[in-house]
Structure 1
């Protein structure tokens, strides 16, 4: 089995930019310019997100930047703030702009509320903090709690990318527009995953601590901040936090996994109807991957068990690990190979399906009964650079030529050249 020591490390002070005609190009990171080697990314959107951009602005602040200020009666303004931002923001506004007696009363009420909330946090079991730590442990994003970028998702058919940020917002960048829609509402907290809807140019699912938001972004609209009326909210009381989403091939079904729910929900989005996928002895689920052919759904639990669901009759083939859980997985574009990595071993494993129905056949004596390790990712020193280790995430490109792997404890990305036929091969790139 091959190891990472046969990779060629980037030169000191250089960053790898691209591969053109089989040749990898690098430049000094201070002067890196991919246009020196290829023009294929000239139309890609330019994304530059800073900490200042992630400061949380109130709705009133945004309106002041768009509309001319007008004098409104205080009561009318307070009613508007109450409906849009809640009671605490009303008290804050009164404490700043109300009559003297009202300001003192509002300030006192704010102090009392903050004191009660602090006491509740001390007396409680810190469920909220536990939930955030659980999401961070499960997340495919390294250092999810502190990272300015929580997750990203490329559109299937156009040069468009969704970027979820630390401030619980999602920005949509497109190659054919300078307009950047901002998707945000107060219920959409602690975003964990994004998934564009197949066969749709404008629908995107956002998974977060409180449920799922299906936003519709009209590409012809010039509205920078779509309202919550442009979103469908999918919520079940015991199904949270939502940590993984997967659309079916035709985009008519959406599967969701929650860390504290042993049931996988399959949603009919427009009707807000669900079907439940559940097996005895299951634990919370952390990862879903619908096959590109649409006939299989891979699911991984928070424990040793993972399953392969057949999507016509929804039968499940049960598999188990020796230790840990599955951290990352990806399908080949042809749907015949699934690669995955665990939280305990620096290895890439493969499951192969020569015929799509074999895994569910009654006579399976000739089928392999275990996943095959295909690449050793143990940490190595390459010319003074430490690379490899436990996998954080990996993705297979839609054309099927390359696989990218990032690691939990090291900062370099490993790019593999991959061949599926006649046998699966991963070669260092």
Structure 2
């Protein structure tokens, strides 16, 4: 028996797809007041059959007949595409034995430094595609119809990435729904709106960062390439995580293949590397709401919390020998950081209020049977964590089970986490990605946006208490479907 809460304490899940929460009670019936509220939200459901995956360079190349160049031209072409390694490999395969043997020796010498590096950091052996699959917070990233979603921090504007690497923008009642597409924008892993503005969106992908600038008054549905800037540095790809400073002046980017964390000044398109040796790269970034701290996880056991006033880090290590932090979230008051690791079904918390020098487990997330009749499981190894802007609800999705768990949270001198309930999708659906609406002005709750594996985008309103519901001017408790008289 653990000393901290577990998923056994959750309220039972709904039998049908969950539509809302009403003061810690989850319902598969949506009150009319909430239904009318959600009618104002953008409709961005995507049918998986209506989109095609992005084509890679090899796929495009296969559509053309081979060209038989001379050896010199072929080597020049190979060098442009694959560098020195590609040239030596081609000489080894397509030249006489003596030259092939010499090429093999040179190739071994060329690869020797990287061999030592991959011995200490095995993740560097992964291809870019495999890195994106492993280090993004999207479940089943390669095949997910909805790869990422991002709410604007100040306006009701939503960006959604589909499997074909198109970014669809909707919201604020605009009739035009721009679709952002670019040849360099392949393998999108993350995206985030720039704070203190309405028009800039940073997109992380295989190449690096694509920074889109959109005119809110424009009626163009397909913005041109003049609206996008590419931010890239040699060796800093693929980008798996982006985080804006709360002022919107600085953008941090991370790549598991680069030990440098880059801090970009997007106005000048210049960046400064922030480097530490251990970890072999940076896989995940989370900037605190006040901009004072920046969390950076590595593909190894190490993670750091940077003080962004002096750019000095606190270094932490995950207990497991081969474990790593897979997802994390800051509390809105910047006092606590919660995270989960790749191989443990536990939620950990770090306090920046007390003088504690260790992360402590706060919730046991081991799998439990939620629905005995249909043998539905919930919990297990964590996929993603998101915290709402009020600091009152925490949502966790899982790597192998299909339900989202919701926790009630309170922060102050201590962190209180209470199991609340489950959000259930339709049959055979699991959550690919999720995000809380950031600009929710009502103190009566929040809205969790979920991208399901079917391509369905759901807005799930979470209403916390009668006082909050009253403040948000939602007349929920007078609806006839919520109460029956019994005397």
SS of 2:20 mapped into structure 1 = strand
Aligned equivalents of 1:402, 1:427: Cα separation in 2: 10
- For 1:317, the equivalent position in structure 2 comes to 314
Deviation at 1:22, TM superposition (A): 4.5
Taking structure 1 as reference, are residues 151 and 57 closer, same or farther at Cα in structure 2, changes over 3 Å only? Answer: closer
Aligned equivalents of 2:319, 2:410: Cα separation in 1: 28
- For 1:392, the equivalent position in structure 2 comes to 383
Aligned equivalents of 2:11, 2:24: Cα separation in 1: 14
- For 2:467, the equivalent position in structure 1 comes to none
Task: With the length of structure 1 as denominator, give the TM-score of the two structures.
Answer: 0.79
SS of 2:19 mapped into structure 1 = strand
Aligned equivalents of 1:201, 1:298: Cα separation in 2: 25
Deviation at 1:399, TM superposition (A): 1.3
Deviation at 1:34, TM superposition (A): 6.1
Which of 332, 337, 359 is the aligned partner of 1:371? 359
Residues 25 and 37 of structure 1 are in contact (CA less than 8 Å); yes or no, is this contact kept in structure 2?
A: no
Is it true that 1:381 corresponds to 2:396 in the alignment?
no
Taking structure 1 as reference, are residues 111 and 334 closer, same or farther at Cα in structure 2, changes over 3 Å only? Answer: same
Pairwise mapping of residues 183-222 of structure 1 onto structure 2 (< 5 A)?
A: 183-222=180-219
Give the count of matched residue pairs: 365
Taking structure 1 as reference, are residues 388 and 21 closer, same or farther at Cα in structure 2, changes over 3 Å only? Answer: closer
Mind listing any 5+ residue stretches in structure 2 that lack a counterpart? 94-110, 112-123, 421-487
Residues 305 and 325 of structure 1 are in contact (CA less than 8 Å); yes or no, is this contact kept in structure 2?
A: yes
Residues 20 and 38 of structure 1 are in contact (CA less than 8 Å); yes or no, is this contact kept in structure 2?
A: no
Aligned equivalents of 1:244, 1:48: Cα separation in 2: 25
- For 1:47, the equivalent position in structure 2 comes to 44
Pairwise mapping of residues 55-66 of structure 1 onto structure 2 (< 5 A)?
A: 55=52
Question: Which protein has greater RCO, CA pairs closer than 8 Å, 6+ apart?
Answer: 2
Deviation at 1:37, TM superposition (A): 4.8
SS of 1:132 mapped into structure 2 = helix
SS of 1:302 mapped into structure 2 = coil
Deviation at 1:421, TM superposition (A): 2.5
Residues 349 and 375 of structure 1 are in contact (CA less than 8 Å); yes or no, is this contact kept in structure 2?
A: yes
> 1:299-357 CA distances to partner (integer Å, 9 max, x unpaired)?
000100000101011001110012210011000111111000000111111011117xx
Which of 405, 419, 437 is the aligned partner of 1:428? 419
> 1:215-258 CA distances to partner (integer Å, 9 max, x unpaired)?
01111111111011101210111101000000001000000001
Aligned equivalents of 1:343, 1:281: Cα separation in 2: 18
- For 1:3, the equivalent position in structure 2 comes to 6
Aligned equivalents of 1:49, 1:347: Cα separation in 2: 33
Aligned equivalents of 1:185, 1:147: Cα separation in 2: 20
Aligned equivalents of 2:146, 2:68: Cα separation in 1: 30
Residues 278 and 302 of structure 2 are in contact (CA less than 8 Å); yes or no, is this contact kept in structure 1?
A: no
Deviation at 1:128, TM superposition (A): 11
Aligned equivalents of 2:232, 2:284: Cα separation in 1: 18
- For 1:305, the equivalent position in structure 2 comes to 302
Which of 244, 249, 252 is the aligned partner of 1:247? 244
- For 1:111, the equivalent position in structure 2 comes to 65
Which of 25, 28, 36 is the aligned partner of 2:27? 25
- For 1:16, the equivalent position in structure 2 comes to 18
- Which portions of structure 1, spanning 4 or more consecutive aligned residues, are displaced by more than 6 angstroms? 114-117, 120-125
Which of 260, 263, 266 is the aligned partner of 1:263? 260
Aligned equivalents of 1:154, 1:163: Cα separation in 2: 9
RMSD: 3.0
SS of 2:37 mapped into structure 1 = coil
Aligned equivalents of 1:5, 1:23: Cα separation in 2: 16
Taking structure 1 as reference, are residues 57 and 194 closer, same or farther at Cα in structure 2, changes over 3 Å only? Answer: closer
